Amino acid sequence: MEFEPYRGELVAYCYRMVGSFHEAEDLVQDTMLRAWKARERYDPSRASVRTWLYRIATNVCLTALEGRARRALPSGLGAPSENPGAPLTPTFDIPWLQPFPDARYDVEARADLRLALVAALQLLPARQRAVLVLREVLEFSAAEVAEQLGTSVAAVNSSLQRARAAIAGVRDPGEVPEPDDAEAREVVRRYARAFEAADVPALVRLLTEAAVLEMPPVPLWFRGRRDYGLFMDRAFALRGTGWVTRPLTASGQPALAAYAPDPDGGHRLHTLQVFTVSGGRIASNVVFADPRVFEAFELPGKISAKNSGDGR
């Protein structure tokens, strides 16, 4: 019985459930181990291997989520800051949402890995979360989901209806292009060029009026072109100019790895920036500075001057 072909989609499923890539990998490893131990009891007349594995993975996730605080982004914890000069003090006792490293697994439906959607899923009760993902993203039937959760079809349909209503605005956000969309790529390319030039006015021109900037594990976040621009002025004053970037994708969204000038030469990895592009402008930039996130994306911690091009 082959389990490995399902690993990538199971990691994506567990990620949607728990909001952490590292934890999702651990939960899938636990799922695979349980499946291997129970392989003699598998009944192909009752369910496919895939459906059976999702039942095990769902139970593993639900157990892991018992009594667990939800993972969040700063924008989900309170009002935006009105002081772009506020201290940038990281808070590590908050379980922050992490991005998904697209290049690590071949996963379909990447739009449903978007940070805003995964953050919204964390607001749902765990079983509602499972129902929504299993039914809407993975397209299991109501009967299959009822079997996976050990409940009735009526209960599944009721949970799905409540979950849909709870995240309706995020589930259907309007025109949010895929990361391979030519216009979205061009917008992010122009942003990267302005960022490398420390050209804050050019950065601001690429933003929507209500653009959001947030920086987990710092709990602060900002909304609007003015505060975004003031913060970027401060960032370049603190860290200097001459940054370089490398394009990639994260959670089905265009992203940049940003490298700051290193006093010892070359450039050192500083942040991973994940963009939401809407209507030809940047509506959101989630800036991750957690070394665990860098590890998940397998990004080099330092690049030499001769290798510091961004590949554009």
- Is 99 inside any structural domain? yes
Last residue of a domain, one of 128, 146, 171: 171
How many Å separate Cα 273 from the centre of its chain?
A: 11
pLDDT, position 1:
78
pLDDT, position 180:
63
pTM above 0.85, yes or no: yes
Last residue of a domain, one of 111, 140, 171: 171
- Is 312 inside any structural domain? no
Residues 6+ apart with CB under 8 A from 13: 24, 54, 57, 61, 133, 138
Q: Is the same domain home to 197 and 156?
A: no
- Is 40 inside any structural domain? yes
Q: Is the same domain home to 22 and 101?
A: yes
Nearest CA to 52 out of 36, 70, 64 is that of: 36
The fraction of the chain above a pLDDT of 90, given in percent, is: 83
pLDDT, position 269:
97
260: DSSP letter: E
Mean pLDDT of 54-81: 95
CATH of the domain at 295: 3.10.450.50
Q: Is the same domain home to 167 and 259?
A: no
Q: Is the same domain home to 241 and 161?
A: no
Q: Is the same domain home to 157 and 228?
A: no
Last residue of a domain, one of 112, 144, 171: 171
Q: Would you say residue 63 has pLDDT above 60?
A: yes
The structural domain count of the chain equals: 2
Q: Would you say residue 188 has pLDDT above 90?
A: yes
Nearest CA to 166 out of 134, 196, 193, 128 is that of: 128
Q: Is the same domain home to 158 and 21?
A: yes
Q: Would you say residue 173 has pLDDT above 80?
A: no
Q: Would you say residue 312 has pLDDT above 50?
A: no
Q: Is the same domain home to 149 and 56?
A: yes
Q: Is the same domain home to 27 and 148?
A: yes
pLDDT, position 108:
78
Question: Strand locations in the chain, DSSP E?
Answer: 207-215, 218-223, 244-250, 253-261, 267-278, 281-288, 302-303
Which segment of 42-56, 82-96, 167-181, 234-248 scores lowest on mean pLDDT? 167-181
pLDDT, position 106:
84
- Is 152 inside any structural domain? yes
- Is 177 inside any structural domain? no
For residue 295, give its domain range: 182-307
pLDDT confidence band for 204 (50 / 70 / 90)? very high
Q: Is the same domain home to 162 and 187?
A: no
- Is 148 inside any structural domain? yes
- Is 37 inside any structural domain? yes
CA atoms of 62 and 128, how far apart (whole Å): 11
Q: Would you say residue 38 has pLDDT above 80?
A: yes
Q: Is the same domain home to 144 and 287?
A: no
pLDDT confidence band for 177 (50 / 70 / 90)? low
Q: Is the same domain home to 129 and 247?
A: no
- Is 163 inside any structural domain? yes
pLDDT, position 306:
55
Mean pLDDT of 273-286: 96
Q: Is the same domain home to 244 and 162?
A: no
